[in-house]
Amino acid sequence: MIQPFWNLRAGRDGVSHRRGFLKQLCAGAAGTAVALSWRDMMIAQADELRKRGKSMILLWMDGGPSQFETFNPKIGSKNQGPSTDIATNLPGVRISEYMPETAKVMDKIALIRSMHSSERDHFRAIKLVRTGYPINPSIAYPTWGSVVARDRWDPGYALPAFVRIGAPRIKTRDVDAGVLGPRYDSFKIDAAGELPADVLPTVDSARLQRRLALSSQFDQQFASTGGANRVHEKQEIYQRTSRFVLSPKLDVFRLDNEPAKLRDQYTRSNFGQGCLLARRLVEHGASFIEVFSTGTSGDQGWDTHKNGWKENPLLASEVDQAYATLLRDLEQRGMLEDTLVVWMGEFGRTPKFKPDGGREHYSDGWITCLSGGGVKTGQVIGATDKDGVHVSDRPVGVQDLFVTFCQILGLDPHEEYVTDQDQPLALVKGGELISELF
C-alpha cells in the first residue's frame, strides 16, 4: 500500500523532498500495481516545469506603501490630498503623478487594487504576506523565497538560489527560512555591487583546497568515533561554500562591467542598482531575489505616519524609474516571460490622513503588481469605492496570491513538507487562483 504523504521519511533537514517522495510513491505503486493519482502526476510534471527555470523577483516596499500616492489615486475624493494622477499607456488607467516612468510600462503590469487582509500590525502583516500563513507562535513558517529555493534545490549550483538585496528597516520583523532550516535561507547583500567582506577567500584557491582537504581528514577521524551525521552536515556546508567562493560566477555580483548608461537608467540608488543585480542573478540561474525599498531620506521607509506629502513623492520617485527599467530590460533580453516580478508591501495606508499627509496602517484595498512569468498583463483587477475606503469589486486575499505564485512557478500549492517536529505543512493553506491573470 502506498504510504500516506505525512508518513514519508524526511531528510536530515526534516523536509520530505519531492524527488524522495516520487521514489517512495513509485516504489509503492510498483509493488501493488496502484496507478498514480492525478495529483501525483501533477507533482511529477512539476519537475519538468522546474527545468524551465522560472524565477521570481520580489520588489518589497518595506513599511506599507500608500495606494493613494502610488497605484490607486482617488482624485476628487476628500481622502486624496494634494497629489494628482496621470495617464498611463493603458487607456482609462491612471496612477500617481509620482510614477511617470511606471505609467509608460503599465501594459507590462497586472495591477491588483483590491488586496485585503485582517492584519494591520507590521509584524503580523509581514509574517502573513511573506509566508502565506498567519502568525503562529509554535511554527516558524518559511518566507516564500525559501520555499522556492527548496523546490529549485540543486546541490551542484554554485550560486545561492535565494538572494536578498538590502535589508528590512527593523530586523525583528524579518522572516527567514523557518522550519525549512538555514540551507534554504537567503544570501544577504546589504548593497548591490558589494559582496559581504567575508565572502572572498583570503588565500589562493590551491591553498584553500589544501586546507579543505586537511579539514576533511580530521572530519573523517571524528566521523569514525560516531559523529558521522554532524560531519556530513558540516562537509555539505563547506562544499557549498567553497564552490561559491571559488566560482567564476561570483562576477555576477559585480556591476562595474555593466554599461554606465544602463546603470544610470536603473538609477544609482540602492534600490535601482539592486534591481539591476536582480536581473543579473536571474540571468545566472538564481530562483528568487528580493530587493528592498526602504527610502533614503529617513528611517521610516514606506511607513509614512508623518510627513506623507513630503515623503511619498520621494519614495515613489526612488522606485519608479528602476521598476520601469527592470521590466523593459527583462523584456528586451527575452527573460520577462520566465521571470515573475512582484511589487508589493505588507499593507496600504488609511484613507484618512493627517495634516502633514501621514497615513496609518490599512489592510483593505491595498496594492500588488505582477509582471512577467506568463501572466496576462495590461489589466486592472479589483477596485475600491470612490473614497478608497473599502473593496468594492473582486477582493483578493493573501492566500489567493500565493496559490497564484504556485501556478506561475510550477509548484503544487497542496504539496506538503514535513517539519523537524514531524508536522506536515502545505505550501499554501486555502486560497483560490486569481484566474484573471491567465
Runs of H (alpha helix) within 298-391: 308-332
CB 164 within 8 A of CB 187: yes
Amino acid 230: pLDDT: 65
CATH number at residue 299: 3.40.720.10
Instruction: Give the count of domains, the chain.
Output: 3
Residue 423 confidence (pLDDT): 85
Residues 153 and 271 in one domain: yes
Question: What are the residues facing 51 on neighbouring strands?
Answer: none
Mean pLDDT score of the chain, rounded to an integer?
A: 85
Residue 24 confidence (pLDDT) = 42
User: Does residue 318 sit in the same domain as residue 169?
Assistant: yes
Predicted local confidence at residue 324, as pLDDT: 98
Co-location of 71 and 207 in the same domain: no
* Residues 141 and 183 grouped into a single domain: yes
Residues 260, 272 within the same domain: yes
Cell numbers for 369, please give them: 503588481
Side-chain half-sphere exposure of 418, counting CA atoms within 13 A: 19
What does the pLDDT read at residue 202?
63
What is the DSSP track for 35-59? PPPHHHHHHHHHHHHHHTT-EEEEE
Residue partners of 197: CB distance under 8 A and separation at least 6: none
Q: What is the pLDDT of residue 41?
A: 42
- Is there a single domain that holds both residue 64 and residue 100? yes
Question: Do residues 412 and 289 both lie within one domain?
Answer: yes
Domain identity same for 72 and 103: yes
Q: Are residues 282 and 335 in the same domain?
A: yes
Residue 237: the pLDDT is: 62
Q: Are residues 382 and 318 in the same domain?
A: yes
Question: CB neighbours of 314 closer than 8 A, spacing ≥ 6?
Answer: 295, 296, 297
Taken as a whole, the chain contains a residue count of: 438
The number of CA neighbours under 13 Å toward the Cβ of 3 is 14
- Rounded CA-CA distance 417/419 in Å is 7
Considering the domain architecture, whether residues 47 and 79 belong to the same structural domain is answered as: no
CB 58 within 8 A of CB 342: yes
Within this chain, do residues 188 and 210 fall inside the same structural domain, yes or no?
no
Closest-CA residue to 40 (of 60, 72, 18, 58): 18
CA distance 437 to 381: 9
The whole domain housing 206 covers 202-245
- Here the cell at position 26 is 513509485
Question: What are the residues whose beta carbons fall under 8 Å from the beta carbon of 351, sequence distance 6 or more?
Answer: 68, 74, 77, 79, 359, 362, 387, 388, 389
Per-residue pLDDT of the chain (438 residues; tens, 9 = 90+): 333 333 333 333 334 444 444 444 444 444 433 444 433 443 344 344 444 569 999 999 999 999 999 999 999 999 999 999 999 999 999 999 999 999 999 999 999 999 999 999 999 999 999 999 999 998 999 999 999 999 998 877 888 999 999 999 898 899 999 999 888 999 999 999 888 766 766 656 677 667 667 776 766 766 677 666 665 665 666 666 666 766 777 889 999 999 999 999 999 999 999 999 999 999 999 999 999 999 877 678 999 999 999 999 999 999 999 999 999 999 999 999 999 999 999 999 999 999 999 999 999 999 999 999 999 999 999 999 999 999 999 999 999 999 999 999 999 999 998 876 788 999 999 999 999 999
**Max CA distance (Å), the chain:** 76
